[in-house]
Amino acid sequence: MDILTWTYILVGLSFALYIGIAIYTRASSTKEFYTAGGGVSPLANGMATAADWMSAASFISMAGIIAFSGYDGSVYLMGWTGGYVLLALLLAPYLRKFGKFTVPDFVGDRYYSNKARVVAVFCALFISFTYVAGQMRGVGIVFSRYLEVDIESGVLIGMTIVFFYAVLGGMKGITYTQVAQYCVLIFAFMVPAIFISIQLTGNPIPQLGLGGTVQDGTYLLDKLDGILVDLGFHQYTSGRKSIIDMFAITLALMVGTAGLPHVIVRFFTVPRVRDARLSAGYALVFIAILYTTAPAVAAFGIYNAIDTVAGQPVDNLPDWVENWQKTNLIVVEDLNGDGQVQYLADPEVNELTVDKDIMVLAAPEIAELPNWVVGLVAAGGMAAALSTAAGLLLVISTAVSRDLFRTFVPGMTEKTELIIARLAAALAVIVAGYFGINPPGFVAEVVAFAFGLAAASFFPVIIMGIFSTRMNKEGAIAGMICGLVFTLGYIIYFKFIHPELNDMGHWWFGISPEGIGSLGMLINFAACFVVSKFTPDPPEDVQEMIQEIRIPRGAGKASEH
């Protein structure tokens, strides 16, 4: 059977599975809609968190980014995993003990102020919307590439599927669908990685293969360093970014990960505090499987691309190059007409342009694996995109129905609230889909900054809320606003107002807009601290609540007010 048939079969089967699960596990109460009833096992929640977390970008693009940036790509690897340590040690257990449904819930109660709650709701909506618009675009691209439909139809198909199970199933449906999606995506990522590792290094474990030797007995990484330097590129294993910028970006990504609302809410779904801790551990194991394999896929991919294409005659290129040239993801131009493909750092004479996404997308073909593996990778990419989009949509609908409506219309019945939650989810799908089809130029730019914004707004306020009994509402509001405004201002200044000044010489302390969230976080902490010194302590009952949060015993299931 050909690739397209296999793709349709495998993608169709996986969709049928997701929809089946959604129908079987649909939510019947607000508790189930928001937190899956609070009865998810730590292992299942870990898997769901991993799928929620790993987007189409993690699945398809990350390996390619690392392939072309080498050591510098480590910021993503460390940043997007290290955040889970912060989450497990500093946030998850306490938020679970607190036992409400959302992050703004915590901010509103802990800082005894609806103003603080509303600021938090807007931060959550802003972060989630920028993120989900990018995801929907990703869904569209993945669908169009594999199913050979245009991007618009791709987004529409994706919207329908997400609409169906997010609106119907709520958190409960999403959780169990994500478990299935994790299995699909990790299997799809590992199969080609293992085969390529065997072919290139003889070692079936990609993590070891990366440190192994290629056929001529030299180490893969040494060989790669050598080849790249010969071609005029930078060494693979050392960096170009300054140390301070590496540091700032990694920190912003870590802290941002720990502050992203759609990740935090996952820890409200487990029954006990100890489950929340354990669940964060499982989540990181499942994420680490992909994140430690990705750098191997990256190095194998770039090595293979150079080895099989660069310096080869133009009319005798491997099949996969021919195939992917049709999509313009790989472009070969024989500029000097010598019939050979030159791959060089100098753009004037370079004849080979490779898109980053090819490292994962074309991996099965490069490794000459059977056609069903290509279909599998397609299903995996879609699983990654759909699971993240669904998780984000839930945060948006919860923010609207619970944090806004409930705060200002307190007398609502549960049934009404559930209807509003579903309507909000439906509306969010449509808005996200609209942005997916008509992406405003800034979306792709801004997605990367969602982390910086989360780092600069939520993280310090939640940490202070747990670890300081003295932090008050004035401090928290000042902190969130200063952190967010500073970070947003810096990003807008360098990205949109004066993009021509966006270089190391003009950055503050040499920190790029990608890493500025870490400075924003410090400003947030500082503002919290200073303002709270000059304003009254929080009331007695709030201080007691903080003491209560710190002790595991007595955590009921996530509760109503």
28 versus 238: smaller Cβ distance to other proteins: 238
In the complex, least distance from residue 457 CB atom to other proteins, rounded to whole angstroms: 22
Number of neighbours of residue 306 by Cβ within 10 angstroms? 18
Residue positions counted in the chain: 561
The 328-367 site mask, x for binding other proteins (CB under 8 A), equals ----------------------------------------
Which one of the spans 216-224, 342-350, 478-486, 515-523 is the region binding other proteins (CB under 8 A)? Answer: 216-224
DSSP code per residue over 47-109: HHHHHHH--HIIIIIHHHHHHHHGGGGHHHHHHHHHHHHHIIIIIHHHHHHH--SSHHHHHHH
Q: Is position 158 an interface residue for other proteins (rule: CB under 8 A)?
A: no
255 versus 478: smaller Cβ distance to other proteins: 255
The whole-angstrom separation of Cα 219 and Cα 224 is 9
Q: Is position 460 an interface residue for other proteins (rule: CB under 8 A)?
A: no
Q: Is position 550 an interface residue for other proteins (rule: CB under 8 A)?
A: yes
CA proximity to 389, closest of 188, 558, 160, 186: 160
Q: Is position 39 an interface residue for other proteins (rule: CB under 8 A)?
A: no
CA proximity to 130, closest of 377, 483, 492: 492
Amino acid at position 108, single letter: G
Q: Is position 267 an interface residue for other proteins (rule: CB under 8 A)?
A: no
User: Residue 241 in contact with residue 79, Cβ under 8 Å?
Assistant: no
In the complex, least distance from residue 35 CB atom to other proteins, rounded to whole angstroms: 17
The 93-122 site mask, x for binding other proteins (CB under 8 A), equals x-----------------------------
The 41-70 site mask, x for binding other proteins (CB under 8 A), equals -------------------------x----
In the complex, least distance from residue 149 CB atom to other proteins, rounded to whole angstroms: 36
Number of neighbours of residue 553 by Cβ within 10 angstroms? 8
Among 103, 273, 404, 432, binds other proteins (CB under 8 A): 273
Among 28, 160, 238, 502, binds other proteins (CB under 8 A): 238
Among 100, 277, 356, 406, binds other proteins (CB under 8 A): 277
In the complex, least distance from residue 211 CB atom to other proteins, rounded to whole angstroms: 4
Q: Reduce the DSSP state of residue 537 to 3 states and report it.
A: coil
CA proximity to 20, closest of 168, 120, 191, 130: 168
281 versus 318: smaller Cβ distance to other proteins: 281
Q: Is position 207 an interface residue for other proteins (rule: CB under 8 A)?
A: yes
The 245-264 site mask, x for binding other proteins (CB under 8 A), equals -xx--xx--x----------
Which one of the spans 30-38, 170-178, 305-313, 551-559 is the region binding other proteins (CB under 8 A)? Answer: 551-559
Residues 6 or more apart whose CB falls under 8 angstroms from that of 361 comprise: 60, 145, 324, 329, 377, 381
The whole-angstrom separation of Cα 355 and Cα 117 is 43
Which one of the spans 13-21, 219-227, 367-375, 410-418 is the region binding other proteins (CB under 8 A)? Answer: 219-227
In the complex, least distance from residue 448 CB atom to other proteins, rounded to whole angstroms: 19
Site for other proteins in 473-532 (CB under 8 A): none
Site for other proteins in 392-431 (CB under 8 A): none
In the complex, least distance from residue 265 CB atom to other proteins, rounded to whole angstroms: 19
Give me the residue label for tokens 């969230």. 517
Q: Which residues make beta-bridge pairs with 330? A: 354
Q: Which residues make beta-bridge pairs with 313? A: 340
292 CB-contact burial (10 Å; exposed 0-12 / middle 13-18 / buried 19+): middle
CA proximity to 319, closest of 355, 366, 372: 366
The 288-327 site mask, x for binding other proteins (CB under 8 A), equals x--xx--x--------------------------------
Handedness of CA 197, 202, 206, 208 (dihedral sign): negative
Among 10, 255, 278, 432, binds other proteins (CB under 8 A): 278
